[in-house]
């Protein structure tokens, strides 16, 4: 079946807007995500429902069907593999890879995807720490938690960021915070959920609730 570029983008958006699988995604969130009108989103959701990619009932929002979930995961796999390629092989910065990968991900070839995966040595994560689904669509479970959810001070390894905007990534780069770094969480402010940490380089950095919520880390044994 033919899946258009726009349809693929909707599928990916539904997948990434639902925090847990089976969560219903509303029309308005999709419209907002694409900077488009609710009427256009309705149109597309009906189209996707016709193709059995989403469960859709009028006024009730959508969830992915099994088939739709599979498709979305494949698109995500392509996106993240291309990000690794752009980052590791072409030396793009982590804040530059997203837009190009957004275009490369739409080349629908299993063969290309699998060969790229092999060429890159089957990477586990993209430059933002997002896990890359394998050939079968399996996604490695991620144990990392947002800094805002950590209650105990100590050493943590930063493994992932969940905001891919240039401004956020540039901010982290300026603060000398990178994926893989081990940082010391020195203070957790109970009042506003901000925190203070010591980076690999030894600098002290204060993070707002907003920033901290987009940085995922796991306890360093």
Partner DNA sequence: AAAAATAATTAGACTAGTCTAAATTATGAG
Partner DNA sequence: CTCATAATTTAGACTAGTCTAATTATTTTT
Tell me which residue of 169, 180, 176 sits closest to 203, measured CA to CA.
Answer: 176
Site membership for DNA, residue 7 (CB under 7 A): yes
- Integer Cα distance of 45 and 30 in angstroms: 10
- Integer Cα distance of 195 and 187 in angstroms: 5
Residue closer to DNA, measured from CB, 23 or 186? 23
Sole binder of a copy of itself in the list 4, 36, 46, 103 (CB under 8 A):
103
Tokens 């925190």 locate to 195
Site membership for a copy of itself, residue 132 (CB under 8 A): no
Q: Which does 92 bind (CB under 5 to 8 A by kind): DNA, a copy of itself, none?
A: a copy of itself
Q: Smallest gap, in angstroms, from Cβ of residue 13 to a copy of itself? A: 21
Tell me which residue of 199, 218, 74 sits closest to 135, measured CA to CA.
Answer: 74
Tokens 């089976």 locate to 22
Site membership for DNA, residue 64 (CB under 7 A): no
Q: Smallest gap, in angstroms, from Cβ of residue 48 to DNA? A: 9
Sole binder of a copy of itself in the list 91, 141, 152, 167 (CB under 8 A):
91
Tell me which residue of 87, 91, 83, 82 sits closest to 115, measured CA to CA.
Answer: 82
Site membership for a copy of itself, residue 89 (CB under 8 A): yes
CA 85 to chain centre: 17
List residues near a copy of itself by CB under 8 A: 86, 89-92, 100, 103-104, 107, 109, 112, 115-116, 119
């Amino acid at each position: 079946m033919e899946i258009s570029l726009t349809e693929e983008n909707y599928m990916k958006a539904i997948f990434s807007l639902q925090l847990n699988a089976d969560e219903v995604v509303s029309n308005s969130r999709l419209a907002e995500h694409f900077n488009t009108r609710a009427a256009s989103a309705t149109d597309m959701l009906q189209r996707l429902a016709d193709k059995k990619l989403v469960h859709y009932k009028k006024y009730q929002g959508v969830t992915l069907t099994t088939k739709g979930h599979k498709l979305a995961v494949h698109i995500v796999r392509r996106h993240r593999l291309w990000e690794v390629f752009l980052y590791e092989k072409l030396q793009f910065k982590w804040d530059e890879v997203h837009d190009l990968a957004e275009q490369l991900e739409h080349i629908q070839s299993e063969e290309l995807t699998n060969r790229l995966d092999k060429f890159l040595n089957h990477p586990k994560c993209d430059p933002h720490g997002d896990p890359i689904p394998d050939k079968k669509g399996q996604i490695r479970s991620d144990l990392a938690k947002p800094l805002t959810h950590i209650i105990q001070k100590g050493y943590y390894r930063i493994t992932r960021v969940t905001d891919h905007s240039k401004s956020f990534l540039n901010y982290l780069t300026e603060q000398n915070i990178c994926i893989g770094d081990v940082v010391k969480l020195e203070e957790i402010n109970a009042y506003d959920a901000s925190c203070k940490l010591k980076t690999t380089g030894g600098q002290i950095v204060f993070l707002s609730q907003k920033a901290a919520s987009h940085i995922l880390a796991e306890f360093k044994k």
